[in-house]
Chains A and B, each alone.
Chain A
């Protein structure tokens, strides 16, 4: 047993250098494998969640993300929905858009965004819509998060 432990110890110690080489040389490969094996993505609280609807306005598009209420287990009582307008060059000075965030065919809010200043105003048409969290000037356009409750 003692000899076996010794042999295993030496093997692991010797392999350590190869583990290091594989870690750095195969970093791209292993990280892709790790990502696909685990299926992890960036939390929707940061990324905004998956895009569920795209509206083409000709010179620009509206991307609507799914409402985010995700909690560790179940859902939180308060969440948000993110809207992106891209590309920046195609945006009108003021965007005004009626949004149905939950797909029930009823408009939930009217959002108005000044694309020069980033000022966003909200007219809630549903009791689940609370306020504008803030607007974000992205590389290729604007994003707004609207706070929702369950």
Chain B
């Protein structure tokens, strides 16, 4: 980073009026997206809409007022993971009667498409004009719909997708916050190359076999969504592998290291998103003049995206998910969101707001539907004893 100094003194509490004024666009946008143009008449739906709307806007208000990003993002991000799992599993049980996916469901294209499949589908789509996934091209949870979201969110946020959209990441984020201090502190830098190796491996294997290798063999999140019913030894082995990866990478290691180990050390989509970070306009920068080399940012970064070299360079690695944890943790306020191409000596709060609006909106939109659904089902469970 060049000699310019950033005016980080701007992080102080805003006046209530100014905060409300800055929150007004988010209130309007979240209301529009959550209500989808009509206010529900059913009591429980109206209640779910009101609670979701207030919850989102309270968090955004606190983000804007306090200048803390990750502290409030993480609450919503973890909520997203919990309500997604609850809503998704209950829907599966209502529709299919179980979380297991039969071969017949696959033939009928009834497998919901998730963003983690995307890297495996690109080469086969280019060569054969087909998508190697047993889903639907159009409709709810479709391949086309998820591709559009992936393109849009990558354009807007780059790898910010991993901390502001991914409905799985919140699980690890939640587990990584259980202990006050990490038990495993030193993780070799070499491991951070593993996601790229996984990406390369699964892309090649999927292209050769014309089947989504990662989904079949490795995806840990099948444990909390859906899995192929065990009808053969091969499927049993696959099940043992993905459940073990879930326990290891999503529960145990995040607790012990206080990092998002699946995202930082394994996820192939994360590796692909690092490439989109290179072309995205938002980034996290480090003001070397303010940095006192306390290494707090290195210790708290959940995806191993800051090291001593980053501090020397003044910018974080391409694997940064823009969660804002390092920015919140820095005692010197030396880290800040930045818009590429713009000057490094103007007030960084403007850059942060420019990033926060699209990022928070993505998180609110993706959480909104699942959260309202989860609230309605919880009300049903309390009042009728069943969620179906």
Enumerate chain A interface residues (CB-CB to B < 8 A).
2, 5-6, 8-10, 12-14, 16-17, 19-25, 27-28, 30-32, 34-35, 38-48, 70-73, 82, 134, 136-139, 143
Contact = CB atoms under 8 A, between A and B. Distances in A.
A42 B339 CA distance: 39
Given A6-B342, A139-B108, A38 B125 contact: yes
A145 B93 CA distance: 28
Contact of B133 (A43, A82, A136): A43
Contact of A45 (B123, B211, B342): B211
Contacts of B144: 31-32, 34-35
Contact of A9 (B102, B108, B152, B342): B342
B340 to A, nearest CB: 5
B136 A42 contact: yes
Contacts, number: 153
Main secondary structure on chain B at its contact with chain A? helix
B155 A19 contact: yes
B358 A16 contact: yes
Contacts of B358: 16-17, 19-20
Q: Is the interface of A mostly helix, strand, loop or mixed?
A: helix
B361 interface: yes
A134 to B, nearest CB: 7
B135 A13 contact: no
B210 A34 contact: no
B210 A43 contact: yes
Interface string B103-133: 1101111000000000000011101111111
A70 B210 contact: yes
Contact of B152 (A22, A71, A134, A138): A22
A107 B315 CA distance: 68
B341 interface: yes
Contacts of A38: 125, 129
Contacts of B362: 20
B153 interface: yes
A136 B104 contact: yes
A20 to B, nearest CB: 5
Interface of B: 29, 33, 102-104, 106-109, 123-125, 127-138, 142-145, 147-149, 151-153, 155-157, 207-208, 210-211, 281-282, 339-343, 351, 354-355, 357-358, 361-362, 365
A24 B211 CA distance: 28
B142 A24 contact: no
A35 B341 CA distance: 34
A72 B207 contact: yes
A68 to B, nearest CB: 10
Contacts of B157: 16
A20 B153 contact: yes
Contact of A47 (B109, B152, B340, B343): B109
Nearest to B153: A23
A72 to B, nearest CB: 5
A25 B362 CA distance: 12
Contacts of B132: 43, 45-46
Nearest to A133: B103
A21 B106 CA distance: 32
Nearest to B135: A42
Contacts of B207: 72
Name, among A13, A30, A138, the residue most crowded by chain B CB atoms within 10 Å (CB to CB): A13
Contact of A24 (B210, B354, B365): B365
A42 B153 contact: no
A22 B156 CA distance: 11
Contact of A31 (B148, B208, B357): B148
A58 to B, nearest CB: 25
A46 B137 contact: no
A40 B377 CA distance: 36
Contacts of A45: 132, 210-211
23 contacts: A2-B343, A5-B341, A6-B343, A10-B339, A13-B351, A16-B281, A17-B156, A17-B358, A20-B361, A20-B362, A25-B33, A32-B138, A34-B148, A38-B125, A40-B137, A42-B133, A43-B130, A46-B132, A71-B210, A72-B127, A72-B207, A136-B107, A139-B108
